[in-house]
Amino acid sequence: MPITDGGVDATAWRKNLPGIWFLDPGFSVTASTESSITELDGGNGILRYRGYPIEQLAEQSTFLEVSYLLLNGELPSAAEYDQWVYDVTHHTFIHENMRKRFYEGFHYDAHPMGMLVSAIAALSTFYPEAKDITDRENRFIQINRLVSKVPTLAAMAYRASIGMPFVYPDNSLSYTENFLSMMWRVAEPQYDADPVLAKALDVLLILHADHEQNCSTTAMRVVGSSHADPYSAAAGATAALYGPRHGGANEAVIHMLREIGSYDNIPSFIESVKNGEGRLMGFGHRVYKAYDPRARIVKAQADEVFKVTGRNPLLDIALKLEEIALEDDYFKSRNLYPNVDFYTGLIYQAMNFPMDMFTVLFAIGRMPGWLSHWNEAIEQDVRISRPRQVYVGEGERKYVPLSDR
Ligand code: CMC
């Protein structure tokens, strides 16, 4: 078999060697698709969206511009950018029934991620035309809606979880400011977000916007491969993000830092991780075998945020933990470095976001990435995702009636 671009084409393999399968649980060595959206070189700590380095985008761009880039392949012209911002801003409202009937049905202490997963799925019932995934223009109408409405759904989930009235979107604000307004506004006529905090949140959304074939994006592509509508596929992706090994890690990091509690407990905590009693949350990555470039940018943002909010007391424990882990053979030999989630939780906490909203923030950021992959897969006309298995269960046996068991 010829090796092309560092790998083997499984379609050619299948034709030449029919019946020979690969066992690859977790897809460690399986490329599920060709993609031209995000380039990730984990060995060298490189991350680029459509060719643009993440560092340049985080410093110079905005989340909506990056969203446009991911979805369309090119940076927008000034006119295209204005139109996109206008379109997103003017689709932030959701059907009143979602607020009145849907959100009010959740239990008072429902987790906002559970609400978000359900709310995104429920949107498909309001837009049945989304089922026509073959029409590009129709696809982009749904994409526009999802990018616009996910902050509204997210803020509503938060307000529902604390029993506060919902705040309607304010079209005069930027994407990030509007989200902060829907989160925090109480009785003031307009919510004035601190510009440093709004900027920091925008940068964090850029850093989360895409990360090629991660667990949730794979879920998006797999559900989308059955030609389900994009709301249902995005609900599947959001559910995949919920877990502590993926988007839930930022929340898990704060729990871990709290549990450690003080400098003195760090060595025994590290020992327990090395003994397999738990993981160092916010460390390690399937593809980064060097420092996650996003973690470096997040660390710099943390300094800016703490100038406004005051220093998060857990930061000192996190810094010490990182210092010790980076010197320790266990972590060095396994190439375990801080990932994006190691410091994001500290920023979110300093900005007053409750812990159960952290993964919701990740979902807002990742939405354009999921949709870019969904659209790319439709345009590639990929086959339905349907992996093989290696059956290791019982051979044929005869049914035994209940009375004889
Ligand atoms: N702490 C301690 N040991 C670890 C960790 C960790 N965080 N991560 C991996 N290892 C060890 C693991 O025990 C294994 O050791 P051994 O070879 O002795 O069995 C080795 O490193 C390889 O680990 P793996 O489980 O094969 O790695 P994976 O690629 O399957 O898992 C991961 C990747 C991110 C799920 C894992 O590193 C992890 O659980 N990290 C903590 C959770 C976390 O921070 N997740 C956020 C990921 S970044 C945001 C995102 O994209 O979602």
In a domain, 222, yes or no: yes
In a domain, 36, yes or no: yes
341 CB within 6 A, ligand 1: yes
Q: Which of 212, 283, 341 to mutate to test the pocket of ligand 1 (most atoms within 8 A of CB)?
A: 283
Split at pLDDT 50, 70, 90, the class of 157 is: very high
In a domain, 24, yes or no: no
User: Residue with the nearest Cα to atom 10 of ligand 1?
Assistant: 284
103 CB within 6 A, ligand 1: no
For residues 168-173, give the mean pLDDT.
95
User: Residue with the nearest Cα to atom 52 of ligand 1?
Assistant: 246
289 CB within 6 A, ligand 1: no
pLDDT for the residue 93: 95
pLDDT for the residue 20: 87
pLDDT digit string (tens) for 323-356? 999 999 999 999 999 998 899 999 999 999 999 9
Is-catalytic flag, 285?
yes
Domain containing 37 equals 32-390
Q: Which of 217, 275, 285, 337 to mutate to test the pocket of ligand 1 (most atoms within 8 A of CB)?
A: 285
Q: Which range (111-125, 169-183, 222-236, 240-254) has the least confidence?
A: 240-254
Is-catalytic flag, 246?
yes
pLDDT above 70 covers what percent of the chain?
100
In a domain, 396, yes or no: no
Residue from 210, 341, 356, 373 carrying the catalytic annotation? 341
pLDDT digit string (tens) for 379-401? 999 999 999 999 999 999 999 99
In a domain, 20, yes or no: no
pTM score of the predicted model: 0.93
In a domain, 282, yes or no: yes
pLDDT digit string (tens) for 46-74? 999 999 999 999 999 999 999 999 999 99
In a domain, 400, yes or no: no
Is-catalytic flag, 341?
yes
Extract the tokens encoding 316.
């000192």
247 CB within 6 A, ligand 1: yes
Residue from 208, 211, 285, 373 carrying the catalytic annotation? 285
CATH number at residue 321: 1.10.580.10
Split at pLDDT 50, 70, 90, the class of 220 is: very high
pLDDT digit string (tens) for 84-94? 999 999 999 99
User: Residue with the nearest Cα to atom 29 of ligand 1?
Assistant: 286
Q: How far is the CA of 256 from the centre of ligand 1 (A)?
A: 15
Split at pLDDT 50, 70, 90, the class of 371 is: very high
In the chain, the number of structural domains is 1
120 has a pLDDT exceeding 90: yes
In a domain, 4, yes or no: no
User: Residue with the nearest Cα to atom 50 of ligand 1?
Assistant: 246
Question: What is the average pLDDT score of the chain?
Answer: 94
pLDDT for the residue 163: 86
Task: Provide the residue type at 85 as one letter.
Answer: V
For residues 235-259, give the mean pLDDT.
92
- Specify the ligand 1 atom closest to the Cα of 284: 37
